[in-house]
Amino acid sequence: MLKLKNLILLFILIITSCSDNKNLTLIKGKTYDFEVLYLYQGDKRVIGDKYRNIVSDDSLYIMIEEGFKESHVILEENGEIVYDKIVNSEQSQGLADWLIRDIKKMKNVGLRVDAGPLIFLEMIDVEYNIIGISRSQDKIRVVFYKKVPMYE
C-alpha cells in the first residue's frame, strides 16, 4: 500500500511540474518543421558531376535556396555566428545567398531561421560538402548534395 501511495505522489508531482508553462515554452516565436537529407542523390537541378571538379573538398558550400521572404537566417560554426542576415529568394534564380567555409576547422554547424529552433548539422561524408537550405511555408529543408546543383 505504501508503494502505491508513493507512485501516486510521484505521478502527481510529474503532472504538476509539466503543467508549469515556463517549463514548456522553450522556444518563443514562430517555429517550423525541418527535414535534413544526407547523401542526397539528386533532382532536376542536380545535373551530374559536370562542375564537381571546381568544387574543393576542403570547403563547405552553403546555398540558401528558394522560399525565403524577409527571413532571418543565422548560421553558427563551432558555436560562433558566421552568418546573420535577412534573406529573400531571387524568384528567377531560386538562390537567396551563399557562403563558403573551411571544412577542416568545422566541428559543428547550426542553422536557425527566424525564431525557430537551432538545427545542428553534421558532416558525415566530405564528398557531400554542398548544403542547400530551402523553405516551404513552415518547413525548412536541408539537403547535402554530392553533385553541384544548378540555379537558373
pLDDT digits (tens, 9 = 90+) for 78-124: 889 999 999 988 766 678 888 888 888 887 889 999 888 888 888 77
CA distances 108 to 32, 62, 99, 104, 119, Å, are 21, 14, 16, 11, 10
Q: Rounded to whole angstroms, how far apart are CA atoms 136 and 21?
A: 30
Query: Span 12-40, mean pLDDT?
Result: 55
Q: According to the model, what pLDDT value does residue 102 have?
A: 86
Q: Does residue 48 lie within any of the structural domains? A: yes
CATH of the domain at 77: 2.60.40
Whether residue 12 has pLDDT greater than 80: no
CA distances 109 to 49, 60, 121, Å, are 26, 10, 5
Q: Does residue 24 lie within any of the structural domains? A: no
CA distances 126 to 14, 69, 120, Å, are 44, 30, 17
pLDDT tens column, 85-94: 999 887 666 7
Q: Does residue 16 lie within any of the structural domains? A: no
Across the chain, mean pLDDT equals: 75
Q: Does residue 107 lie within any of the structural domains? A: yes
Whether residue 27 has pLDDT greater than 80: no
Q: Does residue 21 lie within any of the structural domains? A: no
Q: Does residue 45 lie within any of the structural domains? A: yes
Q: Does residue 35 lie within any of the structural domains? A: yes
Q: According to the model, what pLDDT value does residue 152 have?
A: 63
Higher pLDDT, 36 or 53: 36
Q: State how many domains the chain has.
A: 1
Q: Does residue 10 lie within any of the structural domains? A: no
Q: 70, 62 in Cβ contact below 8 A?
A: no
Burial degree of 130 (CB within 10 A; 0-12, 13-18, 19+): buried
Q: According to the model, what pLDDT value does residue 20 have?
A: 41
Whether residue 22 has pLDDT greater than 70: no
Specify the pTM: 0.72
Domain of residue 83, residue span: 29-145
Phi, psi of 30 (to 5 degrees): -75, 135
Q: Rounded to whole angstroms, how far apart are CA atoms 111 and 94?
A: 19
